[in-house]
């Protein structure tokens, strides 16, 4: 009885793939192409250069890089040193960057040339942080240090800041095991084909992009990284790069379909993984009409991306669902909240034992998202718990009201929030962007809602705006909507 | 830092698949067809019936069943009770069965009707073993016991006796984790397609068949079980059942190709997994000529089946190799012997701590097989260490000599062994089955070998027989050849 049945270590994935798939394409990003052998060599060389800057076991190394081959190389180089990657959102302001550098205990930040000034300013503001450019490191000397030859599953790989919709972002510490199990669960659900190529138009600094970097080496599969999101470029990549799977959020997919103008995607495209919050029924319907193999997914940074995913073949039959939990993760609902347990659940929030203890109890991650499971175990995600509106004791799910507003032909998009009210506790308020100003008047939309919703769900105010505030991931920031709406006037009747 | 990164338990696989793939075909065997929902229900009902016979946690339950739906149902029913399956080789004599029942500490043996008498006789000879028929259990009462809802990866699933080529067979205790990791490693190598159907013409009582039962529920994939091996039936099943992967041994594949007479297999067939010992170069060449997607594999019971497998796309380029180790297993060579480490390595030999300690040292399974790794990490399997012939201090690999003999047009098959010799320690002896008696004379074959092999490798005696002794898995039993050959006369010159 001498052998553990749950391994704690395994051969280093990129090195293993350089062995088994050395000549296969590992990465395409813009003009750059790398085989697994190339990537293995580059990662090793970059690791030795980083070592000359004092990077070693557990050093926290921030990345302020655009999507591209340097980012992917850095991910693997940092892993080989046993260091921890802190990917930074390139859209953050200097003060925000400085806060994250300091919060994450970063010692060195590696930036692309055009972000070097911001990295330097943020590093200086944070104090005790060194800023270097990727090119400087690449040109620097190399140290003859020992590099990791095995993956320790329990070791931290990265601290990824959540694209928080409220409060300060928290650093989510993800392990190599989190990524392994996420990749396995995804493969068991979506399958794994020899010719798979996974396109990442998502930022690699978010978990949705980062997880593709890891799947690539775990599967021996090429990833294609879009350097920025442009709907025409993404469509062209799907056509020309033999893409079989692409990860997107709703706003991206809408724009891709608009740009596509009804032209079908090639049959090789077998999965459009749609994350970043519940997808609208109209977007799903549009995909089904066009034969787009859309697979809605529910995931979060704290669970290393996908938690539940529909298989594209099920989307028509399970309208509105995000699918079943990916093996071996489990999902249950407690007081309306979605809980997740399994090996994809984060190590914890970095350096925040209290927040970790609140979020993960008895192994169950409390996601803060509301939803339910149907009789067959399919998950339906409703809303963030913090976005739930309680009006006169009744629960109002903003997503439900938003979906009804979006059904109106004059409405482009909508965000619904609760605003404080003396009589009812909260009342429903909407902010709307319009396709057609003439038809989508406040009176018309209220009438539209009244015909479809209980009275307490109908917005008491509707404000028209040019754009909704969004996170860099494309999610509507209801917190920002709430803050702006709370300052407006709210009628008292309900 | 509160969550383990290596799970010890996961949702019960069959139940999970009954949820996610309830209406999908799980099993076809002869006329029987079962969806995952059917199989889940049947396994649960059978478990409750077994419980009335006293089967519970850790009870050792032997199966003396032919390939078919009852076998698969029993596998899952036993697992749900936390009991341990002891699959028995249906070709064993009563005395051999009795020995295994006793050796494995079996309390109850479940047999098909036509094997009931042998089961009863063996049970009686073993003492303290109850024999029942599958049908009796099926018709019996049910107990309201708690059934397992989770898989504990470290728990024993089965004790599988090795189809030993020497000595008494040993019971290999395999865990659920062994099967899980074997299935994952296989999928990462061969891929995983939504329409996969894996055909098992191998006996389910061997690990090669049993592992397909587990892959079916881990992947949510249909398995098709051949009730017995018939080359025409297997070929027909590949044509008509949408088979994408089939597991075979060389002798089966030879007969399938003979029966096929050059007619190509359908393109849906994407992998012919060829195990059961090193495949002959001529068989591989024949497959490549016919476009058969053959994937030679090296596996053993002690590692829950596949350890290394070529991808069909690599077979031409890596002639003679069994491929690279399946992630996350590792292979290394020590003193010529193949060692394996990883989560597919058995718990140990059941109730044989000494044998386990000899076989598994520092986590490395000593396979007793000889081989080497090339510069790219591809494994080449030579021979069983016990079959190695040392003649005048030189190593002679029987497989090499056999391969040369098989290249002769008059030779059908050959087995090469060492026989004791006073002058040289051992000398090489061959036993041959012929296609053409006229051309394949002893003198002709010796001349054929002398033109291709060093003198010390050339057989000193060649005996012609009608059939070679084989295990139920189709492997040539060199031990039996050795015993018969040792009694013959051996010339002294070399």
Quick check: is B14 in a domain?
yes
Unique residue bearing structure tokens 């200086």: A124
- Name the residue in chain A with its Cα closest to that of B22: A376
Residue A1 lies in a domain: no
Q: Is the dihedral of CA A81, A87, A93, A99 positive or negative?
A: negative
Query: Do B375 and B402 share a domain, yes or no?
Result: no
- For A367-411, the DSSP string reads EEEEEEE-TT--EEEEEEGGG-EEETTEEE-HHHHHHHHHHSTTE
- State the best of A1, A3, A347 to mutate against chain B, taking most chain B CBs within 10 Å: A3
How far does Cα B405 stand from its chain's mean position?
26
- Record: contact A11-B327, CB cut-off 8 A: yes
Check whether residue B212 and residue B357 sit in a common domain: yes
How much is the pLDDT for B166? 54
**pLDDT digit string, tens, across residues A142-161:** 999 999 999 999 999 999 99
- Kindly determine whether residue A7 and residue B311, on different chains, have CB atoms separated by under 8 Å: no
Residues of chain A neighbouring B311 (CB-CB closer than 8 A): 194
Determine the Cα–Cα distance for residues B309 and B320; give it in Å rounded to an integer. Answer: 11
User: Same domain, yes or no, for A86 and A152?
Assistant: yes
Q: Is residue B333 located within the same domain as residue B474?
A: no
Q: Residue B5: which of A1, A20, A153 has the nearest Cβ?
A: A153
Q: How far apart are CA B18 and CA B37, in angstroms?
A: 5
Alpha-carbon distance of A311 to A294, in angstroms, equals 8
Whether residue A323 is contained in a domain is answered as: yes
How far apart are alpha carbons B430 and B418 in whole angstroms? 9
Tell me the three state secondary structure of residue A438.
coil
Residue B175 to residue B154: CA distance in whole angstroms: 6
Across the interface, whether the CB atoms of B342 and A191 are under 8 A apart is answered no
Does B11 touch chain A if contact means CB atoms closer than 8 Å?
yes
With tokens 């050339």, the residue in question is B458
Rounded Cα distance between A208 and A197, Å, is: 15
* pLDDT digit string (tens) for chain A, length 494 residues: 344 556 788 999 999 999 888 899 999 999 999 999 999 999 999 999 999 999 999 999 999 999 999 999 999 999 999 999 999 999 888 998 999 999 999 999 999 999 999 999 999 999 999 999 999 999 999 999 999 999 999 999 999 998 655 567 899 999 999 999 999 999 999 999 999 999 999 999 999 999 999 999 999 999 999 999 999 999 999 999 999 999 999 889 999 999 999 999 999 999 999 998 778 888 999 999 999 999 999 999 999 999 999 999 888 899 899 999 999 999 999 998 999 999 999 999 999 999 999 999 999 999 999 999 998 899 999 888 888 898 888 888 898 899 899 989 999 999 999 998 888 888 999 999 999 888 899 999 999 999 988 888 999 999 999 999 887 667 788 888 888 876 554 443 44
For the CA atoms of B379, B380, B386, B388, what is the dihedral angle to 10 degrees?
-150
Query: Does A185 reach chain B within 8 Å, measured CB to CB?
Result: no
| Inter-chain CB proximity B3 and A363 less than 8 Å | yes
Which domain, by its residues, includes A337? Answer: 12-381
* Cβ contact, residue pair B7, A343, below 8 Å: yes
DSSP summary character for residue B343 = T
In a domain, B357, yes or no: yes
CB distance from B318 to chain A under 8 Å? no
Of A13, A19, A357, the CB nearest to B377: A19
Q: Are residues A409 and A297 in the same domain?
A: no
Q: Supply the pLDDT for residue B486.
A: 66
Beta-carbon-side half-sphere exposure of residue A449 (alpha carbons within 13 Å): 29
Distance CA B24, CA B292 (A): 28
Euclidean distance between the first and final Cα of chain A, in Å? 69
Chain A: closest CA distance from residue B404 (Å) = 30
Task: Give the mutation candidate from B4, B5, B153 for the A interface (greatest A CB count, under 10 A).
Answer: B5
CB B415 within 8 A of CB B468: yes
Query: In this complex, which of B6, B176, B360 lies closest to A153 when CB atoms are compared?
Result: B6
Helix (H) or strand (E) holding B357: helix B353-359
Q: Give the Cβ contact number of residue B193 at 10 Å.
A: 18
Residue B268 half-sphere exposure toward CB, CA atoms < 13 A:
14
Q: Considering A327, A347, A381, which residue would you say is the last residue of a domain?
A: A381
**B346:A3 CB<8 A:** yes
Tokens of A483: 């803050």
The nearest CA of chain B is from the CA of A432 a distance in Å of 38
Alpha-carbon Rg for chain B, nearest whole angstrom, is 23
Considering the domain architecture, whether residues A409 and A336 belong to the same structural domain is answered as no
pTM of the complete model: 0.87
Put simply, the answer to whether A377 touches B184 (Cβ < 8 Å) is no
Domain boundary at A356, A381, A406, which? A381
Q: Smallest Cβ distance to B192: which of A187, A218, A346?
A: A187
**Alpha-carbon gap: B256 to the closest alpha carbon of chain A (Å):** 27
Q: How many domains does chain A have?
A: 2
What pLDDT shows up at residue A279?
83
Same domain, A245 and A319: yes
Strands B330-334, B294-300: pairing is unpaired
Please indicate if any CB of chain B lies within 8 Å of the CB of A203.
no
Joined together, the tokens standing for residue A189 give 């659900």
Judged by CB atoms closer than 8 Å, whether chains meet at A356 and B1 is answered as yes
Burial (CB < 10 A; 0-12, 13-18, 19+), residue A306, is buried
Q: How many angstroms separate the CA atoms of B214 and B222, rounded?
A: 11
- Same domain flag for A299 and A397: no
**B264 at the A interface (CB within 8 A)?**
no
Which DSSP state fits B213? H
Give the integer Cα–Cα distance in Å for A388 and A398.
7
Residue B166 falls inside a structural domain: no
Residue B162: inside a domain, yes or no? no
Nearest to A6 among B218, B343, B353 (CB): B343
Calculate the alpha carbon distances from B166 to B247, B399, B429 in Å.
24, 17, 18
Helix (H) or strand (E) holding A180: helix A176-190
What tokens does B380 get? 């080449």
Q: Does B414 touch chain A (CB under 8 A)?
A: no
* A chain contacts of residue B193, beta-carbon cutoff 8 Å: 191, 193
Domain end position, chosen among A352, A381, A410? A381
Alpha carbons B250 and B297: distance in angstroms, whole number: 11
Task: Check if the beta carbon of residue B407 is closer than 8 Å to that of residue B286.
Answer: no
Residues B367 and B300 sit within 8 Å (Cβ to Cβ): yes
In this prediction, residue B491 carries a pLDDT of 42
pLDDT, tens digit (0-9, with 9 covering 90-100), for A367-409: 999 999 998 899 999 888 888 898 888 888 898 899 899 989 9
- Give the containing element (helix H, strand E) for A138: helix A134-139
B350 close contact with A: CB closer than 8 A = no
In terms of CA atoms, which chain B residue is nearest residue A10?
Answer: B328
Question: Looking at the structure, do residues A333 and A401 belong to the same domain, yes or no?
Answer: no
A187 interfacial to chain B (CB closer than 8 Å): yes
Residue of A nearest to B23 (CA): A376
Find the residue in B nearest to A19 (Cα): B376
B220 touches chain A (CB under 8 A): yes
CB pairs under 8 A between A and B: 134
Interface ipTM > 0.90: no
Q: Is B332 within 8 Å of B355 (Cβ atoms)?
A: no
Does B167 map to a domain?
Answer: no
Query: Quick check: A150 contacting B, CB < 8 Å?
Result: no
B455 has a chain A CB within 8 A of its CB: no
Mutation for A interface: B11, B15, B20, B182, most A CBs within 10 A: B20
CB B248 within 8 A of CB B201: yes
Rounded-to-integer distance, Cα B476 and Cα A208, Å: 52
For residue B307, what are its two tokens? 């350890």
Q: Is residue B419 part of a domain?
A: yes
Assign residue B366 the CATH number of its domain.
3.40.50.12780
Chain A hits for B339, Cβ within 8 Å: none
Provide Rg for chain A, Cα atoms.
23
Dist CA B130 CA B58 (whole Å): 16
pLDDT for A387 = 87
* One domain, residues A267 and A404: no
Q: How far apart are CA B251 and CA A475, in angstroms?
A: 59
Kindly determine whether residue B16 and residue A184, on different chains, have CB atoms separated by under 8 Å. no
What phi, psi does A361 have (nearest 5°)?
Answer: -125, 125
Cβ contacts of B346 within 8 Å, gap of 6 or more: A3, B172, B173, B174, B175, B178, B301, B302, B303, B304, B360, B365
Inspect the interface and report whether the beta carbons of B192 and A188 lie closer than 8 Å.
yes
Instruction: Note whether A313 contacts B: Cβ–Cβ < 8 A.
Output: yes
Scanning every residue of chain A, which has its alpha carbon at the shortest distance from the alpha carbon of B363? A3
DSSP structure class, residue B266: P
A392 and A376 in a single domain? The answer is: no
Q: Which residues contact B355 (CB under 8 A, 6 or more apart)?
A: B170, B349
What pLDDT shows up at residue A278? Answer: 78
Q: Kindly write down the DSSP assignment for every residue of A298-366, as one continuous string.
A: EEEGGGTEEEEE--GGGTTTTTT--BEEPTT-EEEEETTEEEEESTTS-SEETT-HHHHHHHEETTEEE
CB A306 within 8 A of CB A297: yes
Output the tens digit of pLDDT for each of chain B's 494 residues: 344 556 788 999 999 999 888 899 999 999 999 999 999 999 999 999 999 999 999 999 999 999 999 999 999 999 999 999 999 999 888 998 999 999 999 999 999 999 999 999 999 999 999 999 999 999 999 999 999 999 999 999 999 998 655 567 899 999 999 999 999 999 999 999 999 999 999 999 999 999 999 999 999 999 999 999 999 999 999 999 999 999 999 889 999 999 999 999 999 999 999 998 778 888 999 999 999 999 999 999 999 999 999 999 898 899 899 999 999 999 999 998 999 999 999 999 999 999 999 999 999 999 999 999 998 899 999 888 888 898 888 888 898 899 899 989 999 999 999 998 888 888 999 999 999 788 899 999 999 999 988 888 999 999 999 999 887 667 788 888 888 876 554 443 44
Task: Give the gap in angstroms from C-alpha A24 to the nearest C-alpha of chain B.
Answer: 13
- For A11, name the nearest residue in chain B, comparing CA atoms only: B328
A330 contacts A340 by C-beta, under 8 angstroms: yes
- CATH label of the domain that carries residue A447: 3.30.300.30
Contacts of A16 in chain B (CB under 8 A): 327
A258–chain B nearest CA distance, Å? 30
Residue B64 contacts by C-beta under 8 Å, 6 or more apart in sequence?
B88, B90, B97, B109, B110, B111, B112, B115, B118, B119, B122
Q: In whole angstroms, give the CA distance from residue B47 to residue B387.
A: 43
pLDDT value of position A484: 80
- A334 and A396 in a single domain? The answer is no
- Per the CB < 8 A criterion, the answer to whether A435 and A442 are in contact is no
Residues of A in contact with B191 (CB under 8 A): 191-194
Angstroms from B86 CA to nearest CA on chain A: 18
Handedness of CA B56, B60, B63, B64 (dihedral sign): negative
| A3, A328, A363: residue with CB nearest B347 | A3
């Amino acid at each position: 009885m001498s052998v553990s049945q749950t391994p704690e270590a395994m051969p280093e994935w990129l090195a293993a793939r350089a062995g088994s798939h050395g000549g296969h394409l590992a990465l395409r990003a813009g003009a750059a192409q790398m085989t697994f052998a190339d990537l293995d060599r580059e990662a090793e060389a970059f690791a030795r250069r980083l070592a000359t800057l004092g990077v070693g076991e557990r050093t926290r190394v921030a990345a302020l890089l655009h999507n591209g081959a340097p980012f992917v190389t850095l991910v693997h180089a940092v892993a080989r040193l046993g260091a921890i990657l802190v990917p930074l959102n390139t859209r953050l302001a200097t003060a925000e960057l400085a806060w994250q550098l300091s919060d994450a205990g970063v010692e060195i930040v590696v930036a692309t040339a055009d972000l070097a000034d911001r990295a330097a300013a943020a590093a200086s503001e944070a104090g005790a942080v060194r800023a270097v450019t990727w090119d400087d490191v690449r040109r620097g000397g190399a140290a003859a240090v020992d590099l990791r030859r095995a993956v320790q599953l329990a070791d931290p790989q990265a601290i990824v800041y959540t694209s928080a919709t409220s409060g300060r972002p928290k650093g989510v510490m993800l392990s190599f095991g989190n990524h392994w199990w996420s990749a396995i669960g995804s493969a068991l659900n979506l399958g794994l084909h020899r010719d798979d190529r996974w396109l990442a138009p998502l930022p690699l600094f978010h978990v949705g992009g980062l997880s593709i970097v890891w799947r690539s080496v775990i599967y021996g599969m090429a990833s294609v990284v879009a350097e920025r999101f442009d709907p025409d470029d993404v469509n062209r990549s799907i056509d020309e790069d033999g893409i079989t799977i692409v990860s997107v959020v709703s706003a991206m997919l809408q724009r891709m379909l608009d740009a596509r103008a009804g032209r079908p995607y090639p049959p090789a495209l077998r999965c459009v993984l749609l994350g970043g919050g519940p997808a609208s029924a109209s977007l799903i319907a549009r995909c089904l009409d066009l034969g787009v193999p859309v697979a809605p997914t529910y995931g979060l940074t704290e669970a290393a991306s996908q938690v539940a995913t529909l298989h594209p073949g099920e989307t028509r039959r399970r309208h509105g669902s995000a699918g079943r939990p990916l093996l071996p993760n489990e999902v249950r609902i407690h007081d309306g909240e979605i809980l997740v347990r399994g090996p994809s659940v984060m190590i914890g929030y970095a350096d925040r034992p209290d927040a970790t203890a609140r979020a993960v109890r008895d192994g169950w991650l409390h996601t803060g998202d509301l939803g339910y499971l149907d009789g067959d175990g399919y998950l339906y995600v409703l809303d963030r718990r913090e976005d739930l509106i309680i009006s006169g004791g009744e629960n109002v799910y903003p997503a439900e009201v938003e979906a009804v507003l979006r059904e109106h032909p004059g409405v482009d998009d909508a965000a619904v929030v609760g605003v404080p009210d003396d009589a009812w506790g909260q009342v429903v308020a909407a902010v709307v962007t319009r396709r057609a100003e003439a038809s989508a008047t406040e009176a018309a939309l209220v009438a539209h809602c009244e015909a479809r919703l209980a009275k307490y769900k109908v917005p008491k105010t509707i404000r028209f705006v040019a754009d909704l505030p969004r996170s860099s991931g494309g999610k509507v920031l209801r917190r920002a909507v709430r803050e702006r709406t709370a300052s407006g006037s709210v009628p008292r009747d309900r």
